[in-house]
A = this chain, B = another copy of it.
Amino acid sequence: MFSGAQISLYPMTDDFVGVITSALRALTPYRDRLRVETDDVSTLLVGPPEVMFPAMRDLFSAAARTGVHCTLSAAISRGCPGEPDDAICASSHFEGPMAPLAQRQAAALSAVANAPKLDVPLVAQLSLYVMGQGNHMDEIYGCVEFLKQSGTFETSKHFATKLRGDSGALFATLEQAFCSFGPPEGHVTIDLTVSANSPSAS
């Protein structure tokens, strides 16, 4: 199954090029397991979720540690019927049949509990979209229930759920939201915003 993301890093500083260039070094340990292509709007990551989410986490954590207000925006996708399969995307997340919702929620919570602690406080906002079936809201509500118990939940907003927490727990939560809801072979996407060091943070 093809999976990946179009991601963009936005440092709100005159030296945005410097912050981006320096943060990109955090991707080095992941480059042999990801396809990476950049243009003037976004950077494409193609690879399995268990590589892609830690890569995004380390990239954004590096930018956040500069203290500059910065955000990461990402269109994350798996199983789009229009995309060709790619061996680099092979993932253990989607093996076997679809387990019952409660079982998937429990496994997702356990994965978040085991996330590394990075001491980088972040805020995130995500919308999960499940396509290709009539009962898509059941999976979306199941995911929101997981998010509420994840320890990173802040609030429900129109069109999105807002999370707050350490970078480690937060990106583990996002990876589980992306992988554990919607059918294993389904077309599932996340519209994601992550923010650090905002002067308007409450």
Contacts and interface: CB of A to CB of B under 8 A. Distances in A.
B134 A73 contact: no
Interface string A167-202: 000000000000000000001010101010011111
A99 interface: no
Contact of A46 (B16, B129, B158): B158
A40 B201 contact: yes
A15 to B, nearest CB: 8
A66 to B, nearest CB: 13
Contact of A136 (B75, B187, B200): B187
Q: How many copies does the complex hold?
A: 2
Given A73-B73, A193-B41, A193-B42, A6 B157 contact: yes
A41 B123 contact: yes
Contact of A159 (B17, B69, B73, B75): B75
A133 B131 CA distance: 7
Interface in A128-176: 129-134, 136-137, 140-141, 157-160, 162
B189 A191 contact: yes
Contact of A158 (B8, B69, B83): B83
Contacts of A17: 199
Contacts of A82: 137, 140-141
A16 B8 contact: no
Contact of A130 (B42, B73, B131): B131
Interface in A2-53: 2, 4-6, 8, 10-14, 16-17, 39-42, 44, 46
B158 A4 contact: yes
Contacts of A8: 71, 73, 193
Given A17-B199, A77-B159, 10 more contacts: A6-B125, A12-B16, A39-B202, A40-B195, A77-B158, A80-B159, A82-B137, A130-B131, A131-B136, A191-B191
